[in-house]
Chains A and B, each alone.
Chain A
């Protein structure tokens, strides 16, 4: 049998994945594991999902040929415009899918974790859409630095609960959400925002995000008369936008996969989120993957100027892409990312999220051929980052 870079029947990507969970989560995870594939591939489900993606999210998003940066870098650069999705990023693809799934499972209450607030907003949005109670856990530190997103969640009717334990950021918000689920296992569904957590979450979220990659396949057919690119490039925090854009191409070796991590102030500065450079194999949030930790196995706090990339682990799919060499991993520091936020704005008229800007900085690190088709996932827009941009560039 040929190796696949997708999930195996036991919930693993190579050595990574699985469900290392306390018994208190077993019943819920087991229910999801047994039901998710049949539920989300059912015709009635995909019909509802596709309709919402089209009419509510605004899909398909354009695959835009970026003429000016293509000329400058002498290659063929396309941007998959996830920044044009409702709520401003790809995150909503997953929350639409999971809210439908939660309804099918008869759940009456939704919980989620959020770091920068994008996933929190996307979750609060679909809960408002469906009229379902919504509780968002967010690190106390993040609440302070992402106040516009906190306000958006509140406007959308969600309750935002500060995570006050540990380092008071994304990993702690995730811990608190898991604890809530342990206490409320019967009526509550937990919408994880990335391709992390115990199986089946990484696969479930990847499937909901795979619409990005499948659209690219179709769009390239009419734009370039072939259904795959030479390069796919995406930023990786937990890895959901990357999983979505890679999904249909994982086993097509003609497609080069590039994952861009946040180097922060430098890999060895102590202020970094470059998980594959700094991490070791271990368990985080129920998944075996690569994670940043002390030599004693205590999870350490990552840093990046973009709140959406400072997760101490990466999804098990990406850990496997790294270990097998299927994916190329590059880390980009704060300054390079910020410069590319500005570059993309002035050269294409698109202000990207700082997370997304990391991906574009690869253009200064890799050489592409003139005829290469290089697709970037333009995963989110930069409105939420204006304060950081203003501060950095003294605008």
Chain B
């Protein structure tokens, strides 16, 4: 069984952490993954940095710019992850934009993902329809799960379609928003969480975008299988370095 499917089977209140590969320093990638696992995180999303990350806010754009300046490339990432499976068994997802993946070659990319032990992909600018028509075979061939986003504007019909073609979890965007931290959720957001919850989808749900602290995490897990934190974590390691990651995680789960 894929590690992602297994973690949803075995655990509740999933915490998934996103970070940008090659940030703050080029060779921090593996250390960050190991610290996250030790701190009790359930899934790690490795961001493949991109020059023009449309769906992301200023924090991730900035960390991506720095990672690229540090010399992070797709090739480099696979090199860094080469022995990752001898060190950790945590589910690993790569989150990256389509253009760098196309340049690497979709098939080569998927193949290299499988060979280093990646479990699934989130490609925000690969729409579910295009994935379904063109890319699902290659994902399947290399045993990679796919994760799609839904938003408050996604129609019920489309959510059903996305649920049907999803093999991992559904990434539920918390609001009309790009990535970035907020302090608390509004009433209409909770209404939307409830609506999705009542649809009884087959895929597990993780809420992301705007999760930054204990409060927003608790709110999110009330309505879903767990939460994804990105910008708040990047802000933390930017300020505190990568040595105190367990403190950040403990505070969220306190």
Taken together as a complex, chains A and B put the C-alpha atoms of A118 and B158 apart, in Å, by: 38
Taken together as a complex, chains A and B put the C-alpha atoms of A172 and B102 apart, in Å, by: 21
Q: Which of A28, A166, A182, A291 is close to B177, meaning CB atoms less than 8 Å apart?
A: A182
Known: A171-B52, A283-B102, A296-B100. A19 touches B127 (CB 8 A): yes
Which chain B residues border A21 with CB–CB below 8 Å? 125, 127
Residue of B nearest to A179 (CB): B178
Determine if A147 is an interface residue (Cβ-Cβ < 8 Å).
Answer: no
Determine if B86 is an interface residue (Cβ-Cβ < 8 Å).
Answer: no
Most chain A beta-carbon contacts within 10 A, residue among B125, B149, B176:
B125
**1/0 contact string of B128-170 vs chain A (CB within 8 Å):** 1010000000000000000011110111001000000000000
Determine if A298 is an interface residue (Cβ-Cβ < 8 Å).
Answer: yes
Determine if B68 is an interface residue (Cβ-Cβ < 8 Å).
Answer: yes
Determine if B98 is an interface residue (Cβ-Cβ < 8 Å).
Answer: yes
Residue of A nearest to B56 (CB): A179
Most chain A beta-carbon contacts within 10 A, residue among B68, B99, B124:
B99
Determine if B20 is an interface residue (Cβ-Cβ < 8 Å).
Answer: no
Q: Which of A23, A28, A293, A298 is close to B148, meaning CB atoms less than 8 Å apart?
A: A23
Size band of the interface chain A makes with B = 35 or more
Determine if B51 is an interface residue (Cβ-Cβ < 8 Å).
Answer: yes
**1/0 contact string of A80-111 vs chain B (CB within 8 Å):** 00000000000000000000000000000000
CB distance from B208 to the nearest CB of A (A): 12
Which chain B residues border A178 with CB–CB below 8 Å? 54
Does A282 contact B177, Cβ atoms closer than 8 Å? no
Taken together as a complex, chains A and B put the C-alpha atoms of A356 and B101 apart, in Å, by: 36
Which chain B residues border A172 with CB–CB below 8 Å? 52
**1/0 contact string of A261-291 vs chain B (CB within 8 Å):** 0000000000000000000111111100001
- Pull 27 A–B residue pairs with CB atoms less than 8 Å apart, ordered by A: A18-B130, A20-B98, A20-B126, A20-B127, A22-B54, A22-B124, A23-B150, A23-B154, A24-B177, A24-B178, A26-B153, A26-B158, A166-B52, A166-B61, A175-B52, A175-B54, A182-B54, A182-B177, A283-B97, A283-B99, A286-B54, A293-B103, A296-B104, A297-B99, A297-B104, A298-B100, A300-B51
Task: List residues of B whose CB falls within 8 A of some A CB.
Answer: 50-52, 54-55, 57-58, 61-62, 65, 68, 73-75, 97-104, 124-128, 130, 148-151, 153-155, 158, 173, 176-178
Ordered nearest first, which 10 A-B pairs have the shortest CB separation? Answer: A297-B103, A297-B100, A27-B153, A23-B149, A22-B55, A298-B51, A22-B124, A283-B99, A297-B99, A282-B99
